[in-house]
Amino acid sequence: MMKFYLTPGSCSTGIHILLEEIGLVFEAYIVNLLAGDQHKPEYLAFNPKATIPVLIRDDGVALTEFPAIAYWLAKSYPKAKLLPADLDGETRAIEWMHYIVGTVHGQGFTRIFTTDKYSQNPAEHAAIQAQGREMVIQSFEIINKALADKKYLLGTFSVADAALFYVEFWATRTEIPLPEHCAAHYQQMLKRPAVLQVLREEGYRY
Ligand SMILES: N[C@@H](CCC(=O)N[C@@H](CS)C(=O)NCC(=O)O)C(=O)O
């Protein structure tokens, strides 16, 4: 059985949603990032990057990096229709995932959540967090325009929406206002049974 390493309410929530959308049976392992589980030798043995999410496949191969795991899931379980069938649509899905994971999360939210990785000087932390917040707000404006005429980033639900959902979820928890179409996308996602199930399984009341 596949093994999925997650931290509730983190970027792994997006992959968790995809697993539930497909209807896969898997073993879930909670990684307590604050306690440093990701730095334990037994974890580093299969993921030396010390990050979540990780999906260990049936054949024992460990997959890391949100876009790679999402792409592998979508291509391995095509009946779930997590990627558009055409090359251009597939390319757009990858483009959005990289932007959301690499820029919105990797540059914006990391400045807010892991400020000490940017400076050891507490006097600089407020400015770094403000910069991260501004980066996130600007990114949501770009995403907002893309959502103006559709419910999902590519028209129908795809892996890109699972990525967008977790940063929208973080925005609602850090008092970053979601622009109109992102807020509508977030509500649309909350109507999906798989999303509600994941949030409940991860300990949230929805
Ligand atoms: N680029 C990675 C980013 C993963 C990542 O940064 N995950 C965070 C949690 S959302 C993490 O594992 N942080 C480790 C830590 O805080 O020590 C991906 O796409 O999966």
Q: For position 22, what pLDDT does the model report?
A: 98
Residue 151 phi/psi, 5-degree rounding, is -80, -35
CA distance 176 to 172: 6
Tens-digit pLDDT profile for residues 79-124: 999 999 999 999 999 999 999 999 999 999 999 999 999 999 999 9
The answer to whether 31 and 5 have CB atoms below 8 angstroms apart is: yes
- pLDDT class of 194 with cuts at 50, 70, 90: very high
206 has pLDDT over 90: no
Whether pTM exceeds 0.75: yes
Distance of CA 200 to the CA centre of its chain: 17
The single residue listed with the structure tokens 């307590």 is 32
From the alpha carbon of 113, which atom of ligand 1 is closest? 16
Report residues whose beta carbon is within 6 angstroms of any ligand 1 atom. Answer: 10-11, 33, 38, 50-53, 65-66, 101, 114
Give the model confidence (pLDDT) of 40-71 as tens digits: 999 999 999 999 999 999 999 999 999 999 99
Is residue 43 within 8 Å of residue 31, measured between CB atoms? yes
